């Protein structure tokens, strides 16, 4: 084999130097000592042996055991990144990619971007020829297949956090299984925090498959191996509430303050559902802790968090203070926080749900699974025995919560997923090998929609010049086709890409570029509940009668006029980091348009052209106002769903007759977000095939 053998025992004979009394002292431990104290350290040789000898190694180990940060380093040390290939490690979340890469660079004493790099959508921090370990989102690795279908750059690909079962993780697993058939020497490591390894092992079991190269003894075994990393967590005492709580946010805040008052030192981790919740809780905690707040140091943790705030979360609290981290689901398994002793679990998270009948995908605040609840509780036992306060009853835990979450492919719209598969040359979408197959209706709906926006033809083939795949994987594709694909895959959402491409003919690509970039960041607003009034006023200042997308344009222009001032952003409840991202993404998209030969044109004061471009992208979400006894409700053209404008929209009070929206949120009812007013006459013009058949 061209690969080095696993290191022999005596290379690593130091072993664990001493039993860890409590890693609370980790601040005093050298990084090297800390690394050696991790559970995975003892398994280093077994791991390297398995990677050497089997195609697929499944590693199970609880959060904090060292899977993400250590395994790639062991692989480098064993020579897997010698030569021209490197090691990839995927994460479902961008924020995990960034923090983990930074941590590993620190452990290896190198600058981030050299030996250790990372890649997330719109941001590639690595150096070809130098980088040996690359952390990246699963989505970005899938995108890399457009250029390098067999991912030949990589000797080992580690798919991390597989237990999360995100759509892109599942899709990646299916694609990697395909790649493995063509590249039997490729090693896969699938890492998971929970023990559902058997289904993954069965999925990757190629041992029964006949293959000519079987005789080649240098190839690894095609039967997957499973390695369990023994945990070292402490006991966590679970408390339940006696009666269901009606306001989980307030309950979380009062429980947190009670812990602070009653319990000995140790940091607190609070699980909420989204950025709005987190901001609101932060405000409530600081309001209510007025007198006692000297002793606490409260920090938010969510996906769109600015870089500087991310660093605070991972560094120790100021001397004598108790750190309180208010987080979304992110802290469940994807990032490791030191020093947590108390967990407050509201029992909810924001989840995607797709209804193929009404054809809407909505974000819903819904109960987590028992497996998630256990993960959350586990975060309290990292450094010493801890406590978890569940804000739901024991009865609810036992009888109402599902044992495990339903994989995301079974509860999402698959429009962008199917487009990506098509772009990768996978023609028979229905026969794609999924770990858990999505509902057939969902696939059909996605195909219908891709046909409606003109990406697929009536044979469900990519329309020219998007098409032109010659093999199962597109080894060649003409240049223009490739670029157009790049736009679609870059934008992730095909509807945004459609809008951008449509803007060229409408003479407003300059404006729509800004809108597309603004739609690609988490949120340009900072909406802390404590600043609600201020926030409303700020939004009023930029509000456009045509809707939220045009409002983004106003914000962007005012931001440029402020000379990109951070202070200006703060005064206007705008997220400065997000605006910098908008600038950056805009520049990247603009280069893409140039390469495509689409000139940048500005429509000036002519807003209608922009609205038309928006309608061209989002026409499938067209909705008509219906005045009824229940108040102003809209009905979607596709699916006939009754839906309201979300209060966060600038059109909340305006209620234009016809609108298109970008996304749906489901709470007490369906709400549309990011809404734009349109003229219904455009619809038949933009998509005659789509609207005529429905009249």
Size of the site for ligand ADP (CB under 6 A): 16
Length of the chain: 695
56 lies in the binding site for ligand ADP (CB under 6 A): no
- Residue 102 CB, shortest distance to Mg ion, in Å, is 14
Among 36, 54, 68, 509, binds ligand ADP (CB under 6 A): 68
- Supply 65's token pair: 């055991």
- Residue 315 CB, shortest distance to ligand ADP, in Å, is 8
Nearer CB in complex with ligand ADP: 70/90: 70
Among 36, 43, 44, 70, binds ligand ADP (CB under 6 A): 70
Query: Which positions from 101 through 120 interact with ligand ADP, judged by CB under 6 A?
Result: 103
**Quick one: what does residue 123 bind among ligand ADP, Mg ion, none, with the CB cut-off 5 to 8 Å set by partner type?**
none
**Quick one: what does residue 469 bind among Mg ion, ligand ADP, none, with the CB cut-off 5 to 8 Å set by partner type?**
none
Query: Which positions from 32 through 71 interact with Mg ion, judged by CB under 5 A?
Result: 68
- Residue 90 · residue 59 · CB < 8 Å: no
**Quick one: what does residue 543 bind among ligand ADP, Mg ion, none, with the CB cut-off 5 to 8 Å set by partner type?**
none
Nearer CB in complex with ligand ADP: 41/556: 41
Nearer CB in complex with ligand ADP: 383/483: 383
Order of strands, sheet of 133-137, starting from the edge strand that comes earlier in the sequence = 123-125, 116-120, 133-137, 86-91, 154-159, 187-192, 56-61, 225-229
- Residue 479 CB, shortest distance to Mg ion, in Å, is 39
By beta carbon distance, the residue nearest Mg ion is: 68
- Residue 120 CB, shortest distance to ligand ADP, in Å, is 16
Binding mask 396-415 for Mg ion (x = CB under 5 A): --------------------
Among 54, 56, 57, 69, binds ligand ADP (CB under 6 A): 69
- Residue 488 CB, shortest distance to Mg ion, in Å, is 31
- Residue 93 CB, shortest distance to ligand ADP, in Å, is 13
Nearer CB in complex with ligand ADP: 34/169: 34
Find the part of the chain contacting ligand ADP (CB under 6 A) among 62-70, 171-179, 249-257, 284-292: 62-70
Provide the β-strand partners of residue 675: 661
CA angle 622/361/347 to nearest 5° reads 140
State residue 673 phi and psi, 5-degree precision: -120, 155
- Residue 100 CB, shortest distance to ligand ADP, in Å, is 6
Q: How far apart are the first and last CA of the chain?
A: 65
- Residue 502 · residue 511 · CB < 8 Å: no
- Residue 66 CB, shortest distance to ligand ADP, in Å, is 4
Sign, CA torsion 682/663/693/617 = positive
Which uninterrupted H or E stretch holds 388? Answer: strand 386-390
Nearer CB in complex with Mg ion: 66/528: 66
**Quick one: what does residue 467 bind among Mg ion, ligand ADP, none, with the CB cut-off 5 to 8 Å set by partner type?**
none
Find the part of the chain contacting ligand ADP (CB under 6 A) among 60-68, 438-446, 499-507, 639-647: 60-68
63 lies in the binding site for ligand ADP (CB under 6 A): yes
Distance of alpha carbon 310 from alpha carbon 77, whole angstroms:
29
- Choose among 152, 158, 218, 143: nearest CA to 182: 152
99 lies in the binding site for ligand ADP (CB under 6 A): yes
- Residue 5 CB, shortest distance to ligand ADP, in Å, is 25
- Residue 330 CB, shortest distance to ligand ADP, in Å, is 13
- Residue 528 · residue 282 · CB < 8 Å: yes
| Owner of token pair 């994989």 | 407
Q: Name the H helices within 520-655.
A: 532-542, 548-561, 566-571, 576-595, 607-618
- Supply 17's token pair: 């130097």
Nearer CB in complex with ligand ADP: 70/417: 70
Among 41, 43, 48, 67, binds ligand ADP (CB under 6 A): 67
- Choose among 329, 408, 337: nearest CA to 376: 329
Query: Which positions from 326 through 385 interact with ligand ADP, judged by CB under 6 A?
Result: 336, 338
User: C-alpha distances in angstroms, 95 versus 120, 134, 336, 532?
Assistant: 9, 14, 12, 27
| Owner of token pair 């044992």 | 403
- Choose among 667, 679, 652, 418: nearest CA to 539: 652
Among 6, 48, 50, 64, binds ligand ADP (CB under 6 A): 64
**Quick one: what does residue 514 bind among ligand ADP, Mg ion, none, with the CB cut-off 5 to 8 Å set by partner type?**
none
- Residue 611 · residue 550 · CB < 8 Å: yes
- Residue 230 CB, shortest distance to ligand ADP, in Å, is 12
- Residue 67 CB, shortest distance to Mg ion, in Å, is 5
Nearer CB in complex with ligand ADP: 335/401: 335
- Residue 95 CB, shortest distance to ligand ADP, in Å, is 11
**Quick one: what does residue 338 bind among Mg ion, ligand ADP, none, with the CB cut-off 5 to 8 Å set by partner type?**
ligand ADP
Nearer CB in complex with ligand ADP: 314/652: 314
CA angle 114/189/32 to nearest 5° reads 50
Query: Which positions from 578 through 637 interact with Mg ion, judged by CB under 5 A?
Result: none
Please write down the long-range contacts of 252-258, taking CB distance under 8 Å and 24 or more positions apart. 252/281, 252/344, 252/346, 252/391, 253/281, 253/284, 253/285, 253/288, 254/288, 255/344, 255/389, 255/391, 256/285, 256/324, 256/344, 257/285, 257/288, 257/289, 257/292
Residue 566, C-beta contacts closer than 8 angstroms, at least 6 positions apart: 576
* Ordered DSSP codes for 70-110: HHHHHHHHTTTTSTT-EEEEEES-HHHHHHHHHHHHHHTT-
Find the part of the chain contacting ligand ADP (CB under 6 A) among 67-75, 354-362, 485-493, 561-569: 67-75
Distance of alpha carbon 9 from alpha carbon 112, whole angstroms:
30
**Quick one: what does residue 314 bind among ligand ADP, Mg ion, none, with the CB cut-off 5 to 8 Å set by partner type?**
ligand ADP
Buried/exposed 137-157: b ≥16 CB within 10 Å, e otherwise: bbbbbbbbbbeebebebbbbb
Buried/exposed 259-268: b ≥16 CB within 10 Å, e otherwise: bbeeeeebbb
Nearer CB in complex with ligand ADP: 165/498: 165
- Supply 599's token pair: 């000139």
Among 12, 314, 353, 396, binds ligand ADP (CB under 6 A): 314
- Supply 628's token pair: 């009824």
Among 56, 60, 61, 345, binds ligand ADP (CB under 6 A): 61
Size of the site for Mg ion (CB under 5 A): 1
42 lies in the binding site for ligand ADP (CB under 6 A): no
Query: Dihedral (C-alpha) 544, 549, 555, 558: value to the nearest 10 degrees?
Result: -70
- Residue 530 CB, shortest distance to Mg ion, in Å, is 33
469 lies in the binding site for Mg ion (CB under 5 A): no
- Residue 337 · residue 313 · CB < 8 Å: yes
92 lies in the binding site for ligand ADP (CB under 6 A): no
Distance of alpha carbon 74 from alpha carbon 52, whole angstroms:
12
Find the part of the chain contacting ligand ADP (CB under 6 A) among 59-67, 346-354, 500-508, 644-652: 59-67
Among 6, 38, 282, 435, binds ligand ADP (CB under 6 A): 38
Site of interaction with Mg ion (CB under 5 A) = 68
Site of interaction with ligand ADP (CB under 6 A) = 34, 38, 61, 63-70, 99, 103, 314, 336, 338
């Amino acid at each position: 084999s061209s690969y080095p053998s696993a290191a022999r025992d005596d290379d690593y004979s130091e072993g664990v130097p001493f039993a860890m009394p409590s890693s609370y002292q980790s601040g005093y431990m050298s990084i090297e000592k800390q690394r050696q104290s991790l559970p995975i350290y003892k398994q280093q040789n077994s791991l390297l042996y398995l990677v050497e000898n089997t195609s697929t190694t499944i590693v199970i180990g609880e959060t904090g055991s060292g899977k993400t940060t250590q395994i790639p380093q062991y692989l480098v040390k064993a020579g897997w990144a010698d030569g021209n290939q490197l090691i990839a490690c995927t994460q479902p979340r961008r924020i995990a990619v960034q923090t983990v890469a930074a941590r590993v660079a620190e452990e290896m004493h190198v600058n981030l971007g050299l030996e250790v790099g990372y890649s997330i959508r719109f941001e590639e921090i690595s150096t070809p020829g130098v980088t040996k370990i690359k952390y990246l989102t699963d989505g970005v690795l899938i995108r890399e297949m457009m250029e390098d279908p067999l991912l030949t750059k990589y000797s080992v690909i580690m798919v991390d956090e597989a237990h999360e079962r995100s759509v892109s993780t599942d899709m990646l697993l299916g694609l990697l299984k395909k790649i493995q058939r063509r590249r039997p020497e490729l090693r896969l490591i699938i890492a998971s925090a929970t023990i559902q390894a058997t289904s993954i092992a069965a999925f990757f079991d190629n041992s029964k498959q006949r293959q000519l190269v079987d005789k080649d003894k240098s190839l690894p075994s095609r039967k997957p191996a499973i390695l369990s990393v023994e945990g070292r967590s402490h006991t966590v005492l679970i408390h339940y509430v006696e009666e269901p709580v009606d306001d989980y946010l307030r309950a979380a805040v009062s429980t947190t303050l009670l812990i602070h008052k009653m319990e000995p030192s140790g940091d607190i981790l609070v699980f909420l559902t989204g950025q709005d919740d987190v901001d609101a809780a932060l405000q409530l905690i600081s309001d209510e802790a007025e007198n006692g707040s000297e002793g606490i140091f409260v920090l938010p943790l969510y996906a769109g968090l600015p870089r500087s705030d991310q660093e605070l979360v991972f560094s120790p609290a100021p001397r004598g203070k108790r750190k309180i981290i208010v987080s979304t689901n992110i802290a469940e398994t994807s990032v490791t926080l030191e020093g947590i002793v108390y967990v407050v679990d509201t029992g909810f998270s924001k989840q995607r749900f797709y209804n193929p009948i009404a054809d809407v995908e909505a974000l819903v605040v819904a109960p987590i699974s028992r497996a998630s609840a256990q993960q959350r509780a586990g975060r309290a036992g990292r450094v010493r025995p801890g406590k978890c306060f569940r804000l739901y009853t024991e009865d609810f835990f036992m009888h109402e919560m599902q044992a495990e979450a339903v994989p995301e492919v079974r509860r999402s719209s698959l429009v962008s997923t199917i487009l990506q598969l098509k772009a990768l040359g996978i023609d028979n979408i229905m026969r794609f090998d999924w770990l858990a197959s999505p509902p057939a209706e969902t696939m059909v709906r996605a195909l219908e929609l891709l046909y409606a926006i003109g990406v697929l033809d009536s044979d469900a083939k990519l329309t020219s010049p998007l098409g032109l795949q010659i093999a199962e994987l597109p080894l060649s594709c003409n240049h223009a086709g490739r670029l157009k694909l790049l736009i679609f895959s870059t934008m992730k959402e095909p509807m945004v890409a459609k809008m951008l491409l449509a803007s060229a003919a409408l003479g407003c690509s300059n404006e729509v570029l800004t809108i597309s970039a603004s739609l690609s960041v988490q949120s340009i607003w900072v909406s802390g509940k404590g600043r609600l009034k201020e926030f409303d006023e700020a939004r009023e200042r930029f509000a456009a009668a045509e809707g939220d997308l045009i409002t983004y344009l106003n914000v962007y222009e005012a931001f440029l006029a402020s000379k990109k001032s951070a202070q200006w952003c703060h005064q206007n409840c705008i997220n400065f980091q997000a605006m910098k991202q908008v600038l950056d993404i805009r520049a990247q998209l603009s280069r893409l348009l140039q390469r495509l030969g689409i000139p940048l044109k500005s429509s000036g004061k002519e807003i209608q052209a922009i609205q038309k471009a928006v309608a061209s992208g989002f026409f499938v979400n067209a909705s008509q106002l219906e005045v009824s006894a229940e108040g102003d409700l809209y009905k979607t053209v596709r699916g006939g769903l009754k839906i309201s404008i979300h209060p966060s929209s600038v059109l909340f009070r305006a209620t234009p007759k016809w609108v298109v929206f970008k996304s749906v949120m489901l709470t007490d009812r369906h709400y549309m977000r990011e809404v734009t007013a349109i003229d219904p006459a455009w619809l038949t013009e933009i998509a005659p095939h789509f609207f005529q058949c429905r009249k």
